[in-house]
A and B are shown apart, each in its own frame.
Chain A
Amino acid sequence: MKSSPDLDFEFIDENNKSKGAVLLFHGLTGSTFEMKKYAQHLHSNGFDVFAYCLPGHGEDTGQIRCVRYIDWINFAGYKFKKLKKKYNNVYLGGLCLGAVLALILGQKYKLEVNGIISLSTTLYLDGWTMPWYNFMMPLGLYTLIRYYYTFPEREPYGIKNIKKRRSIQKIMGKNSIAMDNYPLSCVYELLKLSKLARKNMKNVISPILIMHSKEDDLTSIKSAKFVYNNVSSLDKEIFILENSYHLMLYDNDKDFVFDKSVEFLNNLVQKKEVLNYAN
């Protein structure tokens, strides 16, 4: 599969004084574009930040129907291991599909993952914008129909703030940045990935920050609560946002999300410094 070098980004401190690396994963049918402002904020607070388009995304959307969930896991794992060779502290963050991937890596690599930020975690597709014919989804998902059907992106496009929604709407359909439809085959792969994540959730032992919108249009807070209640992490926090939908990195609670993420990461850095000092 092709990579998307124009969309991938790496924000690295030139003086090599970063507090650690943050590897971000974007959402389903999105791209690294949706993580950029968030990444810039984390970087301005002392972290090196890395984000890469997942297989079938970015410039590679023509291949999106060919992608299996295992491709996403392998890609994410490869990027994580590569960073781990360079940095002592590697934190994972993700939105939607990206959050599920971060959790799966947390399950696989356990304490090698120094912290996880899980935003709009999509373990279930039960948001309030699911179409009326959603009950027929099993028929579509588990037959060849999944290769024919796509969910069109629709109001509210994951954003509660109307002004921002209109600006996001304009760039949707520029497929390299964000697709304007969800192929059902991708949803199928996401659901398989989510099922795997749910099954092994107790294997997550890294510190974790979970944020989810109360009115998430794609996935209800059931997903976030499942993560919070089932991870084995001693250090875990959950915040339910009151004024945003699924794409919280663009919505009304954006500043809270950005600041809370930095606070979480800084706390982890401090705790590690204290431990190192004690040892």
Chain B
Amino acid sequence: MLINSFISINMLLIVAFLLGQYFLKLDKPKLMAAFSIFISIVLVFYLAFILIICVKSIIYKEYLNLILFPFMFVPFIIGIFANYKKINFYTNIQNLFFVLSLVIAIFLFK
């Protein structure tokens, strides 16, 4: 169930950031604010699930699953380098990593 939830959240995050690129062009602050809060909550769940999976991996000595751990830091590393002029580029890079984490999760647990 944990893995299914993580996969669902991961997919939701990819869709959310793809939609976000469209929303940015609408220039509606209130809609963007609500959308941002939604993305933030989904991102929190994404990070939390990775953390739980990694802790469980250590407890059950399934160390291969720890390969997901670095993905916790990817949104923040991209955030450090990102700028608004290339927002689409950085969003695509970020989504690439989300897709990668999704593929790894499916590969490890299915």
Residues of A within 8 A of B (CB): 65-66, 68, 133, 136, 139-152, 180-181, 184-185
Query: B84 at the A/B interface (Cβ < 8 Å)?
Result: yes
- Residues of A contacting B36 with CB < 8 Å? 140, 145, 148-149, 184
Question: Contacts A66-B83, A68-B83, A133-B37; is A148 near B75 (CB within 8 Å)?
Answer: no
Residue of A nearest to B41 (CB): A136
Q: Are A144 and B87 in contact (CB under 8 A)?
A: yes
Q: Are B79 and A146 in contact (CB under 8 A)?
A: yes
| Whole-angstrom CA separation of A212 from B21 in the bound complex | 39
B82 at the interface (CB under 8 A from A): yes
Contact A145 B43 (CB under 8 A): yes
* In the complex, chain A residues whose CB is within 8 Å of the CB of B90: 144
Q: Told that A66-B85, A140-B40, A147-B87 touch, could you supply 16 new A-B pairs with CB distance under 8 A? A: A66-B83, A66-B84, A133-B37, A136-B44, A139-B43, A139-B44, A143-B43, A143-B79, A144-B75, A144-B91, A148-B23, A150-B29, A150-B33, A151-B33, A184-B36, A185-B84
Provide the residues of chain A in CB contact with B79, threshold 8 Å. Answer: 141-144, 146
Are A150's CB and B32's CB within 8 A? yes
Q: Which secondary structure dominates chain A's binding surface?
A: helix
Q: Are B35 and A148 in touch, CB under 8 angstroms?
A: yes
Instruction: Please name all residues of chain A whose beta carbon is closer than 8 Å to the beta carbon of B84 when the two chains form the complex.
Output: 65-66, 147, 185
Q: Count B-side interface residues using an 8 Å CB cutoff.
A: 28
The distance in angstroms between the C-alpha atoms of A142 and B32, with both chains bound, is 17
Chain B residues packing against A (C-beta within 8 Å): 17, 20, 23-24, 29-30, 32-33, 35-37, 39-40, 43-44, 75-76, 78-80, 82-85, 87, 90-91, 94
Known A66-B85, A148-B23, A148-B24; judge A143-B32 contact (CB<8 A).
no
| Chain B positions within 8 Å of A181 at CB level | 29, 33
Q: Report the separation of the CA atoms of residues A133 and B44 in the bound assembly, to the nearest whole angstrom.
A: 13
CB distance from B107 to the nearest CB of A (A): 26
Nearest-neighbor residue (CB-CB) of A65 within chain B: B84
**Inter-chain contacts of B82 with A (CB < 8 A):** 144, 147
Note all chain B residues with C-beta closer than 8 A to A139: 40, 43-44
Instruction: Report which residue of A140, A149, A180 has the largest number of chain B beta carbons within 10 angstroms of its beta carbon.
Output: A149
Chain B residues lying within 8 Å of A140, measured Cβ to Cβ, are: 36, 40
In the assembled complex, the CB of A46 is this many whole angstroms from the nearest CB of chain B, namely 42
